[in-house]
């Protein structure tokens, strides 16, 4: 690796000379020091690697090693020793040396080792920066929404991310952003460099799910031909995201609870307790409390999860976020599809703001995607959202009048509410009710309503 800087520390000028000569030929910048004091003066951020003699006139190499690792943890150190004792080597590795070599050495081998060390550290840096850019993708900025409720959710998630909380429960209808929230919490915590693994509890039969989570020993069951580590082991130091926890069977719920409380578990068919440090983020679109009442969900597990609950509100309860989200998706799909759609017309925006979004943000994203795939104009209009009109879930948002009223009254009240929600726009009111503009106008006359 050219242009890396290597500091050679040895009291023998001949050793320094031979290493300098060889490493310079490889394209490295080479610095020299003959004493521990000089070494520490030369060490610094820009020194990538230090070849360090164990015996120095004014100190020993381990002292220098400790100091260097304290000041410049990223600098690699290779210890050189003429009196190789196992203890020295062990001590050196413990203090963070990359490697140690015995004197006398072959300069070619040293050059090779230096090259390898620098390559390793370059890769490590690359992975680190990759992880932070992944972190940015899953940063809290990726959670779009300025409504009061979303601001509160984001601020809570941020605090949870940096807290020691080991169990978190995300609730909310499908498509409200539970996956996104779980990733944001992981990638903004000090667990970010470790694994984030997720599993959907409803996707697997009980026995398989158990062995996925906890692993199994060889022969634990018919198909267990090999020992297998479970997700809790794989994610040690990181985060396990258990989606659809409400569908977990009672027997597994009990095992999960034991794990959450004791931080230890046994592999299926195993006897040994295994201890790991993972944060468990559970999610469900179900009402777990109802599950407890109906005997489907263990009460003790419910209370354990309930320590840190976060509720993602449905989109229809934060309609103010719809324009922001829709524009965000237009942007995203412009980039993905290489289109130049300018935006959504006020009329269309009005319509999607009034829509009930039973599938929440996922449905909104899909609707925008569909519109953008088909569009050949610059602005997305109400017609580009026709699929929503047909499957209009609008009636769900209307309050049913009390019993004992006649159908005409119900119709009239629905019409009034739809017109109100559409600010008097008859086309929109019609879209909300799943009827056309003429049918709206007809009813306005029939009920003697005046336009607001
Ligand atoms: N607040 C948000 N801002 C931007 N995109 C979001 C937001 N919430 C959800 N999404 C997107 O909507 C889709 C569904 O979200 P997801 O997290 O999978 O929901 P859930 O897990 O609750 O079903 C995903 O594509 C996600 O990126
Ligand atoms: Mg999900």
Q: Which atom of ligand 1 is nearest to the CA of 243?
A: 21
Q: Are residues 250 and 176 in the same domain?
A: yes
Residue 286, in any domain of the structure: yes
Residue 137, in any domain of the structure: no
Q: Which atom of ligand 1 is nearest to the CA of 364?
A: 12
Residue 321, H or E segment: helix 321-337
CATH code (residue 120): 3.40.50.2300
Q: What are 208's two structure tokens?
A: 């398989």
Alpha-carbon gap, residue 306 to 310, rounded angstroms:
9
Q: Are residues 151 and 27 in the same domain?
A: no
Which ligand is located closest to the Cα atom of residue 145? 1
Q: Are residues 148 and 116 in the same domain?
A: no
CATH code (residue 333): 1.10.8.60
What is the residue range of 413's domain? Answer: 398-446
Residue closest via CA to ligand 1's atom 25 equals 362
Q: Are residues 425 and 337 in the same domain?
A: no
Residue 101, in any domain of the structure: yes
Q: Are residues 267 and 365 in the same domain?
A: no
Tell whether omega for the bond before 104 is within 30 degrees of 0, i.e. cis. yes
**Residue 91: how many CA atoms within 13 Å on its side-chain side?**
14
CATH code (residue 426): 1.10.10.60
pLDDT tens by residue, 112-166: 899 888 877 777 766 665 555 565 668 888 899 989 999 999 999 999 999 999 9
Q: Are residues 147 and 280 in the same domain?
A: yes
Substitution site in 144, 150, 174, 180 for ligand 1 pocket (most atoms within 8 Å of beta carbon)? 180
Ligand 1-lining residues (CB < 6 angstroms): 143-145, 172, 174-180, 325, 361-362, 365
Residue 317, in any domain of the structure: no
Q: Are residues 201 and 112 in the same domain?
A: no
Q: Are residues 284 and 159 in the same domain?
A: yes
Q: Are residues 407 and 354 in the same domain?
A: no
DSSP symbol at 164:
-
C-beta neighbour count of 32 within 10 angstroms: 18
Alpha-carbon gap, residue 31 to 427, rounded angstroms:
78
Q: Are residues 109 and 231 in the same domain?
A: no
Which ligand is located closest to the Cα atom of residue 360? 1
In this predicted structure, what is the pLDDT of residue 404? Answer: 55
Write the Ramachandran bin of 360: left for phi over 0, alpha for psi from -120 to 50, otherwise beta.
left
Residues of the chain scoring pLDDT < 50 = 1-2, 390-401, 451-452
**Are residues 103 and 80 in contact, defined by beta-carbon separation less than 8 angstroms?**
yes
**Residue 130: how many CA atoms within 13 Å on its side-chain side?**
7
Residue 49, in any domain of the structure: yes
In this predicted structure, what is the pLDDT of residue 394? Answer: 44
Residue 43, in any domain of the structure: yes
Residue 188, in any domain of the structure: yes
What backbone phi and psi angles, to 5 degrees, belong to 32?
-130, 150
Q: Are residues 358 and 418 in the same domain?
A: no
- Give the end of a domain, one of 130, 161, 194: 130
Residue 316, in any domain of the structure: no
Handedness of CA 408, 409, 411, 416 (dihedral sign): positive
- Give the end of a domain, one of 278, 311, 344: 311
Report CA(284)–ligand 1 centroid distance (Å): 14
- Give the end of a domain, one of 130, 159, 179: 130
The reported pTM is 0.62
CATH code (residue 193): 3.40.50.300
Number of structural domains found in the chain:
4
Q: Which atom of ligand 1 is nearest to the CA of 173?
A: 22
Which ligand is located closest to the Cα atom of residue 361? 1
* H helices present in 86-177, as ranges: 86-94, 107-137, 148-162
Q: Are residues 361 and 261 in the same domain?
A: no
């Amino acid at each position: 690796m050219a242009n890396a800087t290597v500091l050679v520390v040895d009291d023998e000028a001949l050793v320094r000379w031979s290493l300098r000569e060889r490493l310079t030929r490889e394209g490295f910048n080479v610095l020299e020091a003959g004493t521990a004091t000089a070494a520490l003066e030369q060490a610094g951020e820009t020194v990538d690697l230090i070849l360090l003699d164990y015996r120095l006139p004014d100190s020993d190499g381990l002292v220098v090693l400790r100091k260097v690792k304290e000041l410049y943890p990223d600098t690699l150190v290779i210890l050189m020793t003429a009196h190789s004792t196992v203890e020295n080597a062990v001590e050196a590795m413990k203090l963070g040396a990359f490697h140690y070599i015995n004197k006398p050495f072959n300069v070619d081998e040293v050059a090779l080792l230096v090259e390898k060390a620098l390559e390793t550290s370059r890769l490590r840096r690359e992975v680190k920066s990759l992880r932070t850019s992944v972190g940015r993708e899953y940063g809290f900025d990726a959670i779009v929404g300025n409504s009061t409720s979303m601001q509160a959710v984001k601020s809570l998630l941020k605090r949870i991310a940096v807290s020691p909380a080991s169990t978190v429960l995300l609730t909310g209808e499908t498509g409200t952003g539970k996956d996104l929230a779980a990733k944001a919490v992981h990638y903004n915590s000090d667990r970010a460099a470790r694994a984030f693994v997720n599993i959907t509890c409803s996707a697997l039969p009980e026995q398989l799910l158990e062995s996925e989570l906890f692993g199994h020993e060889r022969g634990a069951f018919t198909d267990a031909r090999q020992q297998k580590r479970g997700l809790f082991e794989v994610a040690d130091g990181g985060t396990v995201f258990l989606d659809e926890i409400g569908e977990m069977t009672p027997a597994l719920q009990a095992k999960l609870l034991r794990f959450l409380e004791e931080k230890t578990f046994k592999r299926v068919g195993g006897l040994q307790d295994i201890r790991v440090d993972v944060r468990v983020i559970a999610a469900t679109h179900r009402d777990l409390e109802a599950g407890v009442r109906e005997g489907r969900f263990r009460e003790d597990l419910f209370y354990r999860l309930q320590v840190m609950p976060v509720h993602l509100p449905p989109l229809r309860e934060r309609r103010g976020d719809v324009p922001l989200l829709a524009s965000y998706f237009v942007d995203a799909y412009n980039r993905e599809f290489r289109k130049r759609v300018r935006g959504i017309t006020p009329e269309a925006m009005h319509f999607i703001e009034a829509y009930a979004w039973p599938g929440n943000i996922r449905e909104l994203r899909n609707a925008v995607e569909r519109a953008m795939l088909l569009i050949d104009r610059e602005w997305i209009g109400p017609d580009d959202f026709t699929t929503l009109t047909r499957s209009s879930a609008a009636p769900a948002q209307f309050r049913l009048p009390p019993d004992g009223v006649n159908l005409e009254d119900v119709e009239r009240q629905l019409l009034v509410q739809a017109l109100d929600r559409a600010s008097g726009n008859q086309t929109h009111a019609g879209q909300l009710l799943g009827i056309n503009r003429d049918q709206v106008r007809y009813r306005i006359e029939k009920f003697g309503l005046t336009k607001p």
